[in-house]
Chain A
Amino acid sequence: MTYEPATAMIEAHGLVKQFSDRKRGPIRAVDDVSFKVEAGQVYGLLGANGAGKTTTLRMLATLLRPSAGTALVAGHDIVREPGLVRASVGFLAASTALYGRLTAREMIAYFGRLNGMEDSLIRARTASLAAELDMGEFLDRRCDRLSTGMKQKTSIARTLIHDPAVMILDEPTLGLDVIAARAVLSFVRDCRTRGKAVIYSTHVMAEVEKLCDVIGIIHGGRLRAHGSLAALRAEYRETDLEEIFVGIVSRPEGVAS
């Protein structure tokens, strides 16, 4: 891995997201989260359900507006230039679905046009993505008739059509079988190879161990620890990531590195 003049593609500065809940009052789903992801790096955001992973990533993708703090994504401020941020980001989540009544090709082309691409460029990109992801046989089938794996490939092609510099992936393997999940992981590696900055959230330890250059452990809305797998192992004197994770999240707050 080359860490040349650190080109941070994602820089989160004290991100806070507060929701108001009718019963429980205000809730800080994300509380003062800061981190950096460089080009060609995969940052794994590891946390249990409800830890604040999705909220953090939705803020980076400008779907949610931070209550405080901000972030620079591909050099654009998520609060002041949300349109420019979205143009340089590919966002894929377990909850982002496809239009069932469109074909895979139409779906990809729609997002190309939404990104302001010309039709000729969309055609060329679709052809190369379809070849890469092996989508040829189902490209003209309606999305609601595709298998889960085919849908995931279509979603990936949809996020990549405008060749974004930053990929934001929110539990992209959730609900996938082993084969489809492996395809997603290899796609993430490809992204890294091409120099994209990837932020990847999951609660599956094995994925993080296999994939991520830097790991951030988020719990109760706060980033409790982060560093490379080797650094975390050294710091907590433990080789098993699960043990490290449980150790960190069960500790009282304020001891984060």
Chain B
Amino acid sequence: MNGRAIATVYVKELTDTLRDRRTILSTLLIPTIVMPLLMFGAGRIAAGVVARAREEIPSIMVLGGEDSPGVRASLGHSEHFHVIPPSPNWRRLISDKKVRAAVEIPAGFEAGLGSGASSAVSVYEYRGELKSGLAAQQIVHFLDDLRDRTIASRLEARGLSADLVKPFKTRTVNVAPPEKVGGNLIGGVIPYVIILLCFTGAMYPAMDLTAGEKERGTLETLLCSPVGRAELVAGKFLVVLTGSLTAMTCSLISMGASLFLGGMLAGGSGSMVRSAGMAGAPNAELPFLTIDPLGLVGVVGMVLPVAVLFSAVLFTVALFAKSYKEAQSYVAPLIFIVIMPAVAGLLPGVELSGRLALVPILNLTLVCKEMLSGVWNWHYMAIIFVSTAVYAAAALALAVRMFNREDVLFRS
């Protein structure tokens, strides 16, 4: 291998690539924007939607219960919802989101409460819809409260303590460190985004440096220079890898910046890295979750061999194509091959095991989830790093082999 030749090819291809707008867009611009957009944009919008849904006083309907005026009145007085007159097409109205939920009070309900009878109350909601669910939740709270009071008064009437039916209380306490919670919530998303950006960052340089050159007729020009094929592959491959790593670096820097800014905006409370979390906050404020900065360093280290793997695979696949367009049609399905294991790693309950540690990309998502939550599984990390490096070396060897095949270089 001739270092000077590789450097010459590398410098030229890098210059050429930097003058290509498509590459700049996919390698520099998009990775820089995606992270803040995801964190501020999506996180804030989600949190905002939840907060607004919580603030909204839902409209509900009370069906039946004409002989239960007391219950109806206290429903009407509740500050948690706004009771509107019943209408026969209430199901439609809930579906159309005109009414959030409905409660059906059976005949003789109030009389039954006093007499000690048992009855069933139905709450109607549009399942899966956030605001309807919240309204139904409020109705259930109201009914639970009413039930507790009824039990208490029934027991009191018999001279018994309310504790008779509540022999104990339960409470759940979180013992996981805050990083762990953060790691689980955003830990899955961060490596996923980094993996994807590593891929898209390498995508355009890979296509441009192989199929693009064939299409424009410059590959033949290049091949008649005395530089060896292995040096050409090395120089070009390094540019593709640079694209991949640049995309990752850009996204990490912009992520760090947005976390830092996010923390400042929220009025720093000591945690170093913070982020707007996902929906499902217990209150209207944005939940700030901490992630382990060392974990991020670990993620970068583990992503390196994957970046090499992506670059080599993309290089080989794109080299096979005659034209840029053909290369795109080969590369597009590859995105799904990258996304699928990455998404599988996000699924709850999928944990690292000896076998999964050998599945490329999936193993990375899983180990990153752990690292970001402060768990360092050194032997798994070693397996994953080495196995990915082996796959990457195999892909690179294949790239060199393809570059020596004249039926690949001169396909027509």
Chain A residues in contact with chain B, CB under 8 A? 19, 58, 61-65, 83-84, 86-87, 89, 91, 93, 95-102, 106, 110-111, 113-116, 155, 158
Chain A contacts for B222, CB-based, 8 A? 114
Q: Once bound together, how far apart are the Cα atoms of A91 and B407, in whole Å?
A: 20
Chain A contacts for B9, CB-based, 8 A? 114
Chain B contacts for A100, CB-based, 8 A? 216
* Other-chain contact of A102, B12, B217, B224, B409 (Cβ < 8 Å): B12
Q: Once bound together, how far apart are the Cα atoms of A141 and B17, in whole Å?
A: 17
B16 contacts A96, CB within 8 Å?
no
A64 contacts B406, CB within 8 Å?
yes
In B204-258, the 8 Å CB interface with A consists of 216-218, 220-228
Shortest Cβ distance from A84 into B: residue: B226
With A65-B406, A116-B4 as contacts: A86 and B225 at CB distance below 8 Å:
yes
Chain A contacts for B409, CB-based, 8 A? 63
With A111-B225, A114-B5 as contacts: A63 and B16 at CB distance below 8 Å:
no
Chain B residues in contact with chain A, CB under 8 A? 4-5, 8-9, 12, 15-16, 19-20, 216-218, 220-228, 406-407, 409-410
A115 contacts B217, CB within 8 Å?
no
Q: Once bound together, how far apart are the Cα atoms of A65 and B224, in whole Å?
A: 13
With A64-B406, A99-B16, A114-B5 as contacts: A83 and B228 at CB distance below 8 Å:
yes
A63 contacts B225, CB within 8 Å?
no
Chain B nearest CB from A176 CB (Å) reads 15
With A63-B406, A64-B406, A102-B16 as contacts: A114 and B216 at CB distance below 8 Å:
no
A96 contacts B224, CB within 8 Å?
yes
With A64-B406, A113-B8 as contacts: A97 and B223 at CB distance below 8 Å:
no
B224 contacts A116, CB within 8 Å?
no
B410 contacts A96, CB within 8 Å?
no
Chain A contacts for B217, CB-based, 8 A? 95-97
Q: Once bound together, how far apart are the Cα atoms of A95 and B15, in whole Å?
A: 23
Q: Once bound together, how far apart are the Cα atoms of A88 and B221, in whole Å?
A: 15
Q: Once bound together, how far apart are the Cα atoms of A99 and B20, in whole Å?
A: 12
Chain A nearest CB from B223 CB (Å) reads 5
18 contacts between A and B (CB under 8 A): A58-B410, A62-B224, A63-B223, A89-B224, A96-B218, A97-B216, A97-B218, A97-B221, A98-B218, A98-B221, A99-B12, A99-B216, A101-B15, A110-B8, A110-B12, A111-B225, A114-B8, A114-B222
**5 closest Cβ contacts across the A-B interface?**
A97-B217, A91-B224, A114-B225, A87-B226, A86-B226
* Other-chain contact of B410, A63, A84, A101 (Cβ < 8 Å): A63
Q: Once bound together, how far apart are the Cα atoms of A91 and B223, in whole Å?
A: 10
Chain A contacts for B226, CB-based, 8 A? 83-84, 86-87, 114-116
